[in-house]
Chain A
Amino acid sequence: MDTSQYLDIFLDESKEHLQNLSDQIMELEQNPENMDTINEIFRAAHSLKGMAGTMGYKRMQTLTHDMENVFSEVRNGTFKVQPGMIDILFKSLDALEEYVNNIQQTTEEGTNDNQDLINALNSILKNNGQVIAEGSAPEADSGAASGSTETSVSDGGNAKRERWQEIKISDTEKMLVDKAYKDGLKVYGVTVYVEEACVLKAARAFLVFKALEKLGEIIVSAPTAQDIEDEKFDLTFSLIFISGNAADEIKDAVKSVSEIEDAFCAEYSAAAKSAEPEKIAESRPVEAAKPAVAAPPPKAASTSAPVPAAKPAVAAQAPSSSTKPAAKPVVNRTVRVDIEKLDNLMNLVSELIIAKNSLISATAAAEENKGDNGSVNEQIEYLESVTTNLHESVMKVRMVPIESVVAKFPRMIRDLSKKLGKKMELYMSGEDTELDRTVVDEIGDPLMHMLRNSADHGLEPNDVRVANGKPEVGSIFLDAYQDGNNVVIEVRDDGGGINVEAVRSKAIERGTVTPEQAETMTEKEIIDLLFLPSFSTAKKVSDVSGRGVGLDVVKSKIESLSGEVEVKNRFGEGSSWIIRLPLTLAIIQALMVVIGDEKYAIALGSIQTIEDVLPEDIKLVQAKEVIHIRGTVIPIIRMDKVLEIPPRGDEDNKNKNLTVIIVKKGDKQAGLVVDELIGQQEVVIKSMGKYIKVPKMISGATILGNGEVALILDTNALI
């Protein structure tokens, strides 16, 4: 049976079931006796098994089957739920997720049998719910949230090889190598392994490249530099590198980058070079045979795959059985839509057709008795209201609740809590807050990072908390809510808060600011330093956070979504990180203005008031123009200067009142001087394409009613 047409549905539903399972198992951990939860788990596992079986994913089916057996016994009351059992169940879930991800990438489930997990599950059955030693120790949970951690580590012996030997060099690169030898330099092959728990692999790889570039020149890398930058690699990458330094120095340089698990470096010798073709031909069949025979974890299988994939010539030589991970998931992204939203759309479309028909008859009528356009205008107004509603409905279809992203966090906090040895609870609210699908897809990583930050740096160790008179268990809150045209997501903890003085001294120590500068900086400015690249105050770098790369990435990610991050800090009581995101990226309410003879749109959300200002009310403070409005001094920005628009010629302009739009960003304000106001309008934001690099103050473009393009000003960049 051809099941490919059901792949979309399968993936969608599997993910739903997995999430459901994860939620329910968390619940089970809290209330091991709850029969409803157990039944729910059993049902979800059973459906998952059935689906996997129908689709022909045997390994996935086997694993779910064994999980189901365990649940079934729990349901029958043969034995009770144990903490160690929960750990194994979670690991099995991770393994299932791995299968689903593989299927999404390649339509194959991968070659990992997860035999040890199956054994562990079966031993639970055999021992009536008792978990034997290995599984129960929290240590077993080490490393990452990924379930195949252990399997890949135990297999790690042969998986970790000097993969650089698989790099095939082209003639030009060969020339470079020969030249290097002539120049008395050495050529090395380097293979770098990134830690599995690493969140920002591309950033790590970048740091490695940077460190190496200090020592010499990188000739070629596998996967390609572009792919590495796009994070299209697994946990390892290799490169050929020319340098005058010794192998150990290079190795140390690579290892000095945090979260690098291991690095291999050896001379890319002349012998190896000449023997290369045969060597590859030899090693290839072994390599290809391995997935079939030994069935290493999919991790290893997919790491080896990019190499042949990147070098089609090599891959062609050996009939490799490993599947090539496609750059893009084979399945299109989908949005599941509430049927009510669709009904609404359908109704609007019917209305649209009616409106069109009335318009036709109205024009016909108008032609008969010339001059009377009343009914035509009426119909146009009707049409207008229908299109506006239609637009809104289509936008709503794109909106999905953030639940799909935040649902995995309770599990993450649970794992972190074990790993860090701190007791903590995550409280979430507003999971049903809706955001544009594109935003929801992007927001996961920054949120995860902020939660990790709170768990690691924010919350104090349990004993310190007790000493400070706080409850032993730390609390992290994740609240989402809609605020006007924005969605606010707040990550809050009741930990120690940011020690502003520590940041200040750290900044001085690092040379980020001079001691004099630091003296005059406000608390807010100091906190903003945290968002600078490679600035971390964590005294010791841990697995979880404190690597310095992080907050700056969070910030730039949020900003790329036209959002912003704000920090509220109460030292000793905790801190909250507030992300503000536009409700949707596609459409905004805007104020249209004229500057010179050009039209611009300003997002209504950022506008506070519009003031009519007499030219003499503008005062100079420190050579900057400001106005005084209702007790606040607001700097003003001449938009024609900023946008390089030739000022209007008319002379009387000089003495005319100025139209000043007061915009706000957080608690900062600025007044933008424009020439004319056109009015409020709903504008559709269009991207300007990659062939034009627009200045930061332009956030996009929109098309006006007459077909002209108007640019949208990003007031945040101006303040």
Chain B
Amino acid sequence: MNEVKVMDEQKRDVSLNRPVKHDTTQFIVTQLGGEQYGIDIKYISNIIRMSKITRVPKVPNYIKGVINVRGVVIPTISLRLKMGLPEDVVTKKTRIIILTLEQHESIGVLVDEVKEVVTLDEEHIERMGYEKDEKERYLSGVGKADGKLISLLDITSVLAEVVDV
């Protein structure tokens, strides 16, 4: 099928080359518009290529529909629309990241591109203050890696609102 085993290989890579220290977190870096967003690797169960999304009527616009991942029907949301960015344009690089927050409950997240895996030390992460503005609502902090800034997504808060709808 059209699944990419990105994660497993990269995970192994990382663990071989630099042993993971205790207070580090691994993030998958994704491109969304002009910015890079990091998603904590512990929530990610799979990354797949774009597949046919079946529209579901009468749901909020950021819910794109449902997809089939190995025989399981999984709802898929557009991170772009959720973050208030313009509508997704599907390209060859578009990926669906399957997040699993609790057992048997997964959700797909549409991103423009999956770049790499970074390992961030806690000291390279700048945590968000208590007061967050509208855009920062879904962020847990900003990470610095190789001179780049990566917004770290607070996936639980993104999904908490999905469930509430």
Q: Given the known A-B contacts A690-B163, A693-B59, A703-B68, are A711 and B54 also in contact in the complex, defined by CB atoms under 8 Å?
A: yes
Q: Which residue of A lies closest to B71 (CB)?
A: A703
The interface residues of chain A lying within 8 Å CB-to-CB of B52 are 707-709
B71 near A691 with CB under 8 A, answer no
Q: Which residue of A lies closest to B99 (CB)?
A: A691
Q: Which of B148-165 contact A (CB under 8 A)?
A: 159, 162-163, 165
Q: Which residue of A lies closest to B107 (CB)?
A: A691
**Which of A687, A694, A708 sits near B68, CB closer than 8 Å?**
A708
Q: Does A271 contact B (CB under 8 A)?
A: no
Q: Which of B108-165 contact A (CB under 8 A)?
A: 159, 162-163, 165
Q: Given the known A-B contacts A644-B57, A692-B56, are A709 and B63 also in contact in the complex, defined by CB atoms under 8 Å?
A: no
CA distance A691 to B165 in the complex (A): 9
A598 near B63 with CB under 8 A, answer no
Q: Which of A689-719 contact B (CB under 8 A)?
A: 689-695, 697-698, 701, 703, 707-711
Encode A288-309 as 1/0 by CB contact (under 8 A) with B: 0000000000000000000000
Encode A642-654 as 1/0 by CB contact (under 8 A) with B: 1111000000000
A709 near B68 with CB under 8 A, answer yes
Q: Given the known A-B contacts A598-B55, A694-B56, A708-B54, are A689 and B75 also in contact in the complex, defined by CB atoms under 8 Å?
A: yes
Encode A567-600 as 1/0 by CB contact (under 8 A) with B: 0000000000000000000000000000000100
The interface residues of chain B lying within 8 Å CB-to-CB of A643 are 57
A709 near B67 with CB under 8 A, answer yes
Report the interface size for chain A: residues with CB under 8 A from the other chain: 24
The interface residues of chain A lying within 8 Å CB-to-CB of B63 are 692
Q: Does A521 contact B (CB under 8 A)?
A: no
The interface residues of chain A lying within 8 Å CB-to-CB of B71 are 686, 703
Q: Does B72 contact A (CB under 8 A)?
A: yes
CA distance A687 to B72 in the complex (A): 8
Interface hub of A644, A695, A707 (most chain B Cβ within 10 A)? A707
Distance of A243 from chain B, by nearest CB (Å): 29
Q: Given the known A-B contacts A703-B68, A703-B73, A708-B68, are A691 and B105 also in contact in the complex, defined by CB atoms under 8 Å?
A: yes
CA distance A195 to B59 in the complex (A): 42
Q: Does B106 contact A (CB under 8 A)?
A: yes
CA distance A642 to B165 in the complex (A): 20
**Which of B65, B68, B75, B159 sits near A707, CB closer than 8 Å?**
B68
Distance of B69 from chain A, by nearest CB (Å): 10
The interface residues of chain A lying within 8 Å CB-to-CB of B165 are 693
Encode A206-240 as 1/0 by CB contact (under 8 A) with B: 00000000000000000000000000000000000
The interface residues of chain A lying within 8 Å CB-to-CB of B107 are 689, 691
The interface residues of chain B lying within 8 Å CB-to-CB of A644 are 57-58
The interface residues of chain B lying within 8 Å CB-to-CB of A707 are 1, 51-52, 68
CA distance A692 to B71 in the complex (A): 17
Distance of A520 from chain B, by nearest CB (Å): 31
Distance of A133 from chain B, by nearest CB (Å): 56
Q: Which of B38-79 contact A (CB under 8 A)?
A: 51-52, 54-59, 63, 65-68, 71-75, 77
**Which of A598, A688, A693, A697 sits near B73, CB closer than 8 Å?**
A688
CA distance A548 to B68 in the complex (A): 43
CA distance A76 to B54 in the complex (A): 72
**Which of B1, B59, B68 sits near A692, CB closer than 8 Å?**
B59
Interface hub of B65, B71, B73, B74 (most chain A Cβ within 10 A)? B73
The interface residues of chain B lying within 8 Å CB-to-CB of A703 are 68, 71, 73
CA distance A678 to B51 in the complex (A): 22
A686 near B73 with CB under 8 A, answer yes
Q: Which residue of B lies closest to A701 (CB)?
A: B73
CA distance A690 to B162 in the complex (A): 9
The interface residues of chain A lying within 8 Å CB-to-CB of B66 are 688, 692, 701, 709, 711
Distance of A438 from chain B, by nearest CB (Å): 15
The interface residues of chain A lying within 8 Å CB-to-CB of B159 are 691
Q: Given the known A-B contacts A686-B73, A709-B68, are A701 and B54 also in contact in the complex, defined by CB atoms under 8 Å?
A: yes
Q: Which residue of B lies closest to A643 (CB)?
A: B57
The interface residues of chain B lying within 8 Å CB-to-CB of A645 are 57
Distance of A302 from chain B, by nearest CB (Å): 27
Distance of B14 from chain A, by nearest CB (Å): 29
Distance of A698 from chain B, by nearest CB (Å): 7
The interface residues of chain A lying within 8 Å CB-to-CB of B55 are 598
**Which of A642, A687, A708, A711 sits near B56, CB closer than 8 Å?**
A711
Q: Given the known A-B contacts A690-B105, A692-B75, A703-B73, are A710 and B54 also in contact in the complex, defined by CB atoms under 8 Å?
A: yes
Q: Which residue of B lies closest to A694 (CB)?
A: B56
Q: Which residue of A lies closest to B59 (CB)?
A: A692
Interface hub of A644, A703, A709, A711 (most chain B Cβ within 10 A)? A709
Distance of B68 from chain A, by nearest CB (Å): 5
Distance of B86 from chain A, by nearest CB (Å): 21
The interface residues of chain A lying within 8 Å CB-to-CB of B58 are 644, 695
Encode A19-50 as 1/0 by CB contact (under 8 A) with B: 00000000000000000000000000000000
Distance of A639 from chain B, by nearest CB (Å): 10
CA distance A644 to B60 in the complex (A): 13
Encode A534-561 as 1/0 by CB contact (under 8 A) with B: 0000000000000000000000000000
CA distance A150 to B12 in the complex (A): 63
The interface residues of chain A lying within 8 Å CB-to-CB of B59 are 692-695
CA distance A689 to B72 in the complex (A): 9
The interface residues of chain B lying within 8 Å CB-to-CB of A690 are 105, 163
CA distance A688 to B71 in the complex (A): 12
The interface residues of chain A lying within 8 Å CB-to-CB of B75 are 688-689, 691-692
Distance of A590 from chain B, by nearest CB (Å): 15
A689 near B54 with CB under 8 A, answer no
CA distance A708 to B77 in the complex (A): 17
Distance of A693 from chain B, by nearest CB (Å): 6
CA distance A708 to B163 in the complex (A): 24
**Which of B57, B67, B73, B162 sits near A687, CB closer than 8 Å?**
B73
The interface residues of chain B lying within 8 Å CB-to-CB of A698 are 56-57
CA distance A697 to B57 in the complex (A): 9
Distance of B79 from chain A, by nearest CB (Å): 14
CA distance A132 to B113 in the complex (A): 82
CA distance A455 to B55 in the complex (A): 48
A689 near B68 with CB under 8 A, answer no
CA distance A692 to B64 in the complex (A): 10
User: 3 smallest A-B Cβ distances: which pairs?
Assistant: A692-B75, A709-B54, A695-B58
10 residue pairs of the A-B complex, CB under 8 angstroms, read A686-B72, A689-B74, A689-B105, A689-B107, A692-B75, A693-B59, A697-B57, A701-B54, A707-B1, A709-B68
Q: Knowing that A695-B58, A701-B66, A711-B56 are A-B contacts, what are 5 other residue pairs whose CB atoms are under 8 Å apart, sorted by A's residue number?
A: A645-B57, A691-B159, A691-B162, A692-B59, A701-B73
Q: Which residues does A use to contact B, with CB under 8 Å?
A: 598, 642-645, 686-695, 697-698, 701, 703, 707-711
